[in-house]
Chain A
Amino acid sequence: MSTAARPYALLAEFDNPASVMHAAEKIRDAGYQRWDVHTPFPIHGLDGAMGLRNSKVGWFTFIGGTSGFTLGMLMIWWMGKVDYAIPVGGKPLFSPIFAVPVAYELTILLGAFGTLFGMFFLNRLPKHYHPVLKHPRFRNVTHDKIYVVIENADPKFSETETRRLLEHVGGQHIEVVED
C-alpha cells in the first residue's frame, strides 16, 4: 500500500429509504456498474431499483443439494451392499427407500453448506479491510443513515460528473473515501 492516499470512491448520505430508492434508480439508469448502497436495515425492492439481478447463491445451493442426495445414496449403497453386507428382516441389501432419510438429510446439509460458502465466495468474505469503514461519517450506517458509494474503479466514474449526479439525486455530505 502506497503512503499517498488514493481516492477509492465517492460517498453520499441519505436520510430515508424513499429518497435512496429514487437515487438508486437514477444511478442505475446513468449506467454505473461498481457501486453499492449501505443501509442499516433491509429495504424491500432496493435490489430492483439498483438493477441487481437475482443472486447466484441458488446455484451453489442446488449443486450442494444434489451432491448431498447422490452422496447419501452412494454411502448407504456402499456400506450396506458392498462393504459390510448384513441381511436384515428379509430386506434387500440396498433399496433407495431406506436410503432416503440419509440422502435427504445430506441434501439439506450440503445444500446449506452450498448456500453459506457460496455466499461467502460471491461476497468475497472474509474481508478484513474495506476503505469505507475508516470514513468518519460511515459509522452512522449502523444507526439511521443510508450511504451510496460509487467506486473510483467504475468506468463511468469522474470526480466532477459523479459528484454532480449524487447532488442531483439528493445526496448529502458527498465526500471522497480514500483507499
Chain B
Amino acid sequence: MASSAAVASAAHAPSAGASSGLARLPFLLAAIGGVGALIGMMVPGLQKQFAFSWLLGFMFYLSIMLGGLFLVILHHLFDAQWSVPIRRINEHLACSAPIMAVFFLPILLNALLAGPEKALFAWMHSDVSHDHALYAKKALFNKPTWVVVSLILFALWHWLTNAFRNASLEQDRTGSAACTHRMRFLAALGIFIFGFSLTLGAILWMKSLQWQWFSTMYGVYYFAGSVWLTVGTVYVITMHLAKNGPLTPVAQPVIFHDIGKLFFAFTVFYAYIAFSQYFLIWNANIPEETFWYILREKGSWWSIGMLMIFGHFFLPFLLLLRIDTKMSFTVMLPLAIWAWVMHFCDLSFNIMPVMHPNGFVLHWLDLACMAFMGGVLATWFIRNFNAHPPFPQKDPRMAECLGIHVPAGKSQGGVH
C-alpha cells in the first residue's frame, strides 16, 4: 500500500523544487554571493574579513550537514518509526561532505599561505616556546596535525553519510531487512565517530580562534545549536514537500507534531548547554577562562548575548510549548527562519569578536558567503533529492509509521 503510493509520487518527484520562481533562488543566491565572495577573496583590504565571513558561513552549513547526519543516526539508534518519511531528506542533507570539503579549501589556504596580519588562526603564527597556552596544547594545535585531522574529518563524514544513504537506497530496490540491520550497526558505530569528529571540527576550526581558552563543553555546544537549526530546516523542507510535493502520501499531520517536539527539545537542550558553559566559567572566575566571555560583553556583543538568551531560547521555548503552534505552518515557517538568524548570530558571537572586538558587525561579505554556500548546497540537495525516491520505499517501519495494519504473511518484499 505504502509502496504503490510511493511509486505514484516518484513519478512527479522532479517537481519537488521546481514549483514557481523558488526554483531559481538557489542559482541566484550562488551567483550573487559568489561574485561577492570572489571580490572579498581578491581585494587585499577585504581578505581578512573574507576569511572570517567564509569561516562563519562554512561553520553554519556544516551545522546542517552534521545535523542531518545526527538525525539519521538517531533514527536507527532508537529504531524509530515516526521519522521514516523524512529520513531521505536527512540523508541528503548529510551527504554534502564533498561540497563542504571544497568550501574548506579557502580556510585551508588561509592556514597555509596567509601572513600573520590576515590569518584566521593566530596561533599558527605564535611562537610555541613563548606561548605556554599553545605549548600545553601543541599536540593538537600544530599545523601538520591541524591539516591532517581536518582532512580525515571530511573523509570520515563522506564515508559515513554515503554508507547510510547507499544502504537506504539499496533497500528501496531490494526491500531487504538486512539493509536496516546494516544501518543500525552503522548508527551504533557512527554515533561515536559523529561525537568525536564534530567535537574536533568545532575545536580546530572555531574554538582555536582563541586557543588560550578552555571549555570542555564546546563540542556539545556546537552540536546543540547545529541540531536545533537542522530540525527547524527539516520542518520547513517537509512542510514544502508535503503541501504539494512528493511527500504528500506519507507526511501525516502527526509528523509535524513530532518534528516540532524535537525542535522544542533542542531549544531547551541548547539553552541548557549554553548556560552551563557560561555558568561554570562565571562561577570558577579564572582569568584563563573568563577572558573569552569578557570579550563578548564589550560593545554590541552584549546585546547579541542577550539575544541568545531571549531570542535563541525564550521566544521559541514559549512558542513551542503548545501543540497547535508546533503544527501551525504560519508559526513554524517564521520560527525556522528565525532559527537561521539566531544560529547565524550565535556563530558570529563565537567567531567574530576575534576580528571585531568592539561590537557586532554585519558585513556584506557575511551575507555574500552565506548566500553563495547556501545557493550551492541547495542546488546540490535538490539535485540529489530529485535523483532518488523522495522517501524510503520499502522500509519495514513505513506501514507502522502510517498506521497501516499489515497482516502477518502478507507483507511484500521482505527477503531477510
Q: Which residues of A line the B interface, CB within 8 A?
A: 44-45, 54, 58, 62, 89-91, 97-98, 100-101
Partner of B279, one of A44, A62, A100: A100
- A90 / chain B contacts, CB cutoff of 8 Å: 285
- Complex contact A62–B321 (CB within 8 A): yes
CB distance from A59 to the nearest CB of B (A): 10
- Complex contact B282–A97 (CB within 8 A): yes
Chain A CB within 8 A of B323 CB: yes
Q: Which residues of B line the A interface, CB within 8 A?
A: 275, 278-279, 282-283, 285, 321-324, 403
- Complex contact A97–B278 (CB within 8 A): yes
- Complex contact A89–B282 (CB within 8 A): no
- Complex contact B283–A98 (CB within 8 A): yes
- Complex contact B323–A54 (CB within 8 A): yes
Pair count A-B, CB < 8 A: 20
CB distance from B50 to the nearest CB of A (A): 37
- A45 / chain B contacts, CB cutoff of 8 Å: 403
- Complex contact B275–A58 (CB within 8 A): no
- A98 / chain B contacts, CB cutoff of 8 Å: 279, 282-283
CB distance from A107 to the nearest CB of B (A): 11
CB distance from B275 to the nearest CB of A (A): 7
- Once bound together, how far apart are the Cα atoms of A100 and B324, in whole Å? 29
- Once bound together, how far apart are the Cα atoms of A54 and B278, in whole Å? 38
Interface pairs (17), CB distance under 8 Å? A44-B403, A45-B403, A54-B323, A54-B324, A58-B321, A62-B321, A89-B285, A90-B285, A91-B285, A97-B278, A97-B279, A97-B282, A97-B283, A98-B279, A98-B282, A98-B283, A101-B279
- B278 / chain A contacts, CB cutoff of 8 Å: 97
CB distance from B320 to the nearest CB of A (A): 12
- B282 / chain A contacts, CB cutoff of 8 Å: 97-98
| Residue in chain B with minimal CB distance to A18 | B405
| Residue in chain B with minimal CB distance to A54 | B323
- Complex contact B275–A100 (CB within 8 A): yes
- B323 / chain A contacts, CB cutoff of 8 Å: 54
| Residue in chain A with minimal CB distance to B405 | A18
CB distance from B407 to the nearest CB of A (A): 13
- B279 / chain A contacts, CB cutoff of 8 Å: 97-98, 100-101
CB distance from B388 to the nearest CB of A (A): 31
- A97 / chain B contacts, CB cutoff of 8 Å: 278-279, 282-283
| Residue in chain A with minimal CB distance to B322 | A58
7 residue pairs, one from A and one from B, having the closest CB atoms: A97-B282, A54-B323, A97-B279, A89-B285, A100-B275, A98-B283, A100-B279
- Once bound together, how far apart are the Cα atoms of A97 and B285, in whole Å? 13
| Residue in chain B with minimal CB distance to A65 | B321
- Once bound together, how far apart are the Cα atoms of A90 and B278, in whole Å? 18
- Once bound together, how far apart are the Cα atoms of A44 and B324, in whole Å? 18
- Once bound together, how far apart are the Cα atoms of A58 and B326, in whole Å? 15
Contacts A54-B323, A97-B278, A98-B279 known; 17 new A-B pairs at CB < 8 A: A44-B403, A45-B403, A54-B324, A58-B321, A58-B322, A62-B321, A89-B285, A90-B285, A91-B285, A97-B279, A97-B282, A97-B283, A98-B282, A98-B283, A100-B275, A100-B279, A101-B279
- B321 / chain A contacts, CB cutoff of 8 Å: 58, 62
- Once bound together, how far apart are the Cα atoms of A128 and B36, in whole Å? 74
CB distance from A95 to the nearest CB of B (A): 8
| Residue in chain A with minimal CB distance to B285 | A89
